[in-house]
Amino acid sequence: MTFIAFLHACLSPPALQILMVLLGLWVGRRRQVWGRALIGLGLVSLWLMATPQGASWLLQGLERYPAISDPSTLRAEGWQAIVVIGGGRQYAAPEYEHRDVPNIWTASRLRYAAHLYRHTGLPLAVSGGRRQGDVASEAHLMHYSLVNDHVVNVYWVEEDSATTWDNAIKTRALLAPLGVNRVVLVTQAMHMTRAVAVFEHAGFKVKPAPVDFEIDLAHLSLLRRFMPSAERLMASGQAWHEYAGLAWYRVKMLFV
């Protein structure tokens, strides 16, 4: 698993562009034209992926689902539960007495799930497991945050999943015996395409409830759209990860 993670990192920005530049320097010792082309491609693509415009181009293929315009109609439309899947944790946060807490992505999902809960009264389910060495599951941290930070009830806690695929399969195993088949799914907008695909594959009817849209550039001037930043490079890297995960899940669905 460590080697696979390392290989994935090498094939994702910015490591991919760095490797292209290094390869270009090596190739350029014998074939200058090809070497310069690789170096140029690596540098230009790195710059572009670090800009709001470049990140937006990548994310347009992922952020397919619009925001929910009127949450108060969800119950009347027949949706039965709100499902929030984990997006990671912050380990030993010093400002929280060195406890593990939901990271910024998970916290954003929880905040929106609480918003939906207050507008609909639909029961909440959280899903997220633990990695080796973790004391508490991610779902446990999510449950704690919803109850204590947002003052809402959590009806179901799924604590054994390690991936989005597991989130779907194991949440389905938890809710299907209770007759819960139609769920409002909360995750980041860029992650929603992959999440919906696997939750539907697991047998759910899904109402996407995306948060944290990244592609709106209307507030930026043309010059600022092409100004690089670490934040936009991170968004491009996450988009790259989503495309790779979506491709893998599409293949996996053919056999599982």
| Domain extent listing, the chain | 2-61+229-253, 71-211
User: CA distances (Å), 72 to each of 44, 68, 78, 118, in order?
Assistant: 46, 10, 12, 9
The whole-number average pLDDT for the span 153-157 is 96
* Per-residue confidence (pLDDT) for residue 1, from 0 to 100: 53
Q: Give the residue, 216 or 16, on which the prediction is more confident.
A: 16
d(CA 162, CA 159): 9
Element (H or E) spanning 231, and its range?
helix 230-253
Asked whether the CA dihedral 117, 193, 190, 84 is positive or negative, the reply is positive
CATH architecture, domain 71-211:
3-Layer(aba) Sandwich (3.40)
Mean pLDDT for all residues in the chain: 95
Give the tens place of pLDDT for each residue, 64-102: 999 999 999 999 999 999 999 999 999 999 999 999 999
* Per-residue confidence (pLDDT) for residue 71, from 0 to 100: 97
Bridge partners for 93 per DSSP:
99
* Per-residue confidence (pLDDT) for residue 3, from 0 to 100: 80
Is the pTM higher than 0.85? The answer reads yes
What is the b/e burial string over 213-229, where b = at least 16 CB atoms within 10 angstroms of the residue's CB?
Answer: ebbeeeeeeeeeeeeee
